[in-house]
């Protein structure tokens, strides 16, 4: 039995008697890399003071969702903690600044990275009210400003008049935040029109914005 186990260990590329982690090509290292590639993987909760690749993944997802954690350096510092708390509040979660399973799930479900996971985005449609309310809620979750819902002057037959559209300000907003919002809006089933420049032939245009409708 001992000889068989020794043979098994020797068959793993990178194995040494000193440590099964002694080579970057070892089986242990490969498994660790696989785990690190899974969004939200952790053996426990992530909190201030943690430093690993899972923290870096969380930082990327926070930024995609419109919350600034600082540099994606894999270090869970004060800025990352604040971004986590702000994100948790926007999602109705306990704002404790600790990334547990519920916060992981929310980050995977609301960011542009959701297309690469099996997590389904939570519906933004309210159980009561008109469609524009769900759209406006999604915009606020991304830290964006809604400039028009049902009021104002719009083009003929505009869905704004039906309570089925909103406009979102893009001025002074980062491209990453706008891209993440548009991706999430499409994932939620909304039609998205990028009107940061005036569409050809459009008579009424209120300046650079993103138009969302249902």
Residue 166's pLDDT is 92
Instruction: Considering the domain delimited by 131-213, tell me its CATH architecture.
Output: 2-Layer Sandwich (3.30)
Tell me the residue ranges of DSSP E strands in the chain.
Answer: 146-148, 165-169, 191-195, 209-213
Cα angle at 58 between 34 and 119, to 5 degrees?
A: 70
Q: What share of the chain is helix, strand, coil (3-state, %, to 5)?
A: 40, 10, 50
Whether the pTM exceeds 0.95: the reply is no
Whether 37 has a pLDDT exceeding 60, the answer reads no
Q: Which residue has the higher pLDDT, 108 or 129?
A: 108
Q: How far is CA 73 from CA 1, 54, 158, in A?
A: 45, 10, 45
Class of domain 53-116: mainly alpha
Q: Which residue has the higher pLDDT, 188 or 19?
A: 188
Q: How far is CA 170 from CA 70, 106, 116, 149, 196, in A?
A: 21, 24, 26, 15, 7
Q: How far is CA 65 from CA 8, 83, 103, 202, in A?
A: 45, 10, 12, 31
Cα–Cα distance, 210 to 193 (Å, whole number): 6
Span of 13-22, 43-52, 87-96, 145-154 with lowest mean pLDDT: 13-22
As a whole number, mean pLDDT of residues 108-118 equals: 46
Q: What is the pLDDT confidence band of residue 173, given thresholds at 50, 70 and 90?
A: confident
Residue 17's pLDDT is 41
Return the domain boundaries, the chain: 2-36, 53-116, 131-213
């Amino acid at each position: 039995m001992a000889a068989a186990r020794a043979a098994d260990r020797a068959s793993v590329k990178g194995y040494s008697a000193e440590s099964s982690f002694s080579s970057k090509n070892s089986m242990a290292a490969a498994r660790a890399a696989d785990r690190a590639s899974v969004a939200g993987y952790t053996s426990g909760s992530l909190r201030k003071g943690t430093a690993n690749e899972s923290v870096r993944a969380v930082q990327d997802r926070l930024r995609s969702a419109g919350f600034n954690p600082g540099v994606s350096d894999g270090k869970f510092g004060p800025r990352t903690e604040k971004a986590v708390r702000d994100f948790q509040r926007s999602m109705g979660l306990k704002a404790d600044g600790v990334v547990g399973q519920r916060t992981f799930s929310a980050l995977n479900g609301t960011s542009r990275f959701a297309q690469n996971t099996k997590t389904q985005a939570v519906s933004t449609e309210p159980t009561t009210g008109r469609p524009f309310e769900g759209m406006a809620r999604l915009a606020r979750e991304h830290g964006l400003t809604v400039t028009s819902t049902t009021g104002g002057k719009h083009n003929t037959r505009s869905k704004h008049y039906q309570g089925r559209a909103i406009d979102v300000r893009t001025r002074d907003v980062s491209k990453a935040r706008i891209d993440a919002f548009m991706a999430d809006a499409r994932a939620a089933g909304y039609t998205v029109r990028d009107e940061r420049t005036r569409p050809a032939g459009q008579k009424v245009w209120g300046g650079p914005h993103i138009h969302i409708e249902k």
